Structure 1
C-alpha cells in the first residue's frame, strides 16, 4: 500500500501544482490516505497572508476536475483542501530555510544518536556540494545533525502565542 500511496501522491502533485500556482497559491503538501473503500486526498495550500475558504473551494473544484480527467486515483476518493495550519508540514528546501529559528517536530526512519523523534529549534538547513541535505536541530542545548534522507516527517511545532 505504501508504494501505491507514493505513486498517487507524486502524480497528484504533478497534476495539481500548475493549477494551484496559476491561482497565485503554493502547493505545500499532498497526502493520500487509504480508507476502507476509498482514498482521502489532502492538499495543503498556502500564500503570503494565508488562504481563504474561497481559495480552498476554487482549488477543490479545479483540481477535482483535473484528477477526474486524469483518473488519479482510479478508485473512489474524497478531496480535501486546506491551509497547512500551525503545524505546517516541511517538505521542500525552501520550507526549511523559511522557518529557520522556529520550533519543529521531526521523525526519522532510524535513530540518530539514540533519537528518532526530535522536538526542538531548527538551527540550520544545509545543502552540501554533493547535494546532500542536512538539518541542524537544537534540542534544549544539545545539537543534532539529521540527514534529510532519514526524515520521514517534518512539521512546525504548532504553538499558539498567548501574549
Structure 2
C-alpha cells in the first residue's frame, strides 16, 4: 500500500503545486469490498469544489496513463476538513497557537490523549497547554511518541 501512496504522491504533487495548493495527505484504504484512494488538498482560505474537481480530473488522467493500482478503486479529492491531520513538520509549525488533539503510543503523565493549545514545536517535541479543571498544565510530547495528531475544533 505504501508503494501506491508513494506513486500517487509523485503524480499529485506537481498538479497540486501548479494550482498553488497544498497536498495534505493521501490514503489508500479498503472499506468493505471497495478500495478508496483519497487525496486531501488545502490552501490558506480552504479549497472549493471546483479546485477539488480540477485536481481529480488531472490526477485521474495521470493515474490512467501509468495504471499503478491493480484493483478497481474510487478516487476522492477533498479538503482535509476543519480537523485536518498534523503529519508534516510544516503542519505542526502552522498549528502553533491553535487547539489540537494528540494521541500517543504510550502514556505520558498517565494519559495517552491530549487536547489543548499547541504552544511550541521545536522539531523534536511539541508543547501543549491543557486545562485540568481550572488549572493550565504544559505537557511536552516527543514527536516519536505521537501516534496521530490533528487540529481540534472548539466551541466556546
TM-score, normalised relative to structure 2: 0.87
Match of 1:130 in 2: none
Cα distance in 2 for residues equivalent to 1:109 and 1:52: 35
The answer to whether residue 138 in structure 2 is matched with residue 143 in structure 1 is yes
Q: Does 1:57 find its partner at 2:48?
A: no
SS of residue matched to 1:87: coil
- Other-structure match for 1:125: 121
TM-score by length of 1: 0.84
**Cα distance in 2 for residues equivalent to 1:10 and 1:19:** 15
User: Given that residues 122 and 136 in structure 1 are in contact (C-alpha distance below 8 angstroms), is that contact kept between their aligned partners in structure 2?
Assistant: yes
| Corresponding position of 2:11 | 15
C-alpha contact (below 8 Å) 1:86/1:159 kept by paired residues: no
> Aligned-pair distance for 1:160?
5.3
Distance 1:121 1:59, change over 3 A: same
Would you say 1:88 and 2:84 are equivalent positions?
yes
**1:157 is the counterpart of 2:148:** no
- SS of 1:33's equivalent in the other structure is strand
Alignment partner of 1:30 is 2:26: yes
SS at match of 1:50: coil
- What do the CA deviations read for 1:55-97 (whole angstroms, capped 9, x no partner)? 0000011112222333333211111111121111112111111
Distance 2:147 2:8 in 1: 20
Question: Does residue 125 of structure 2 align to residue 134 of structure 1?
Answer: yes
- Distance across 2 between alignment mates of 1:110 and 1:149: 10
Q: Distance in 2 between the 1:11 and 1:160 partners? A: 39
Q: 1:160 to 1:82 in 2, by over 3 A?
A: farther
Contiguous gaps of at least 5 residues in structure 1: 128-132
Distance 1:7 1:86, change over 3 A: same
Query: Displacement of 1:10 after TM fit?
Result: 3.0
Q: How many residues align structurally?
A: 152
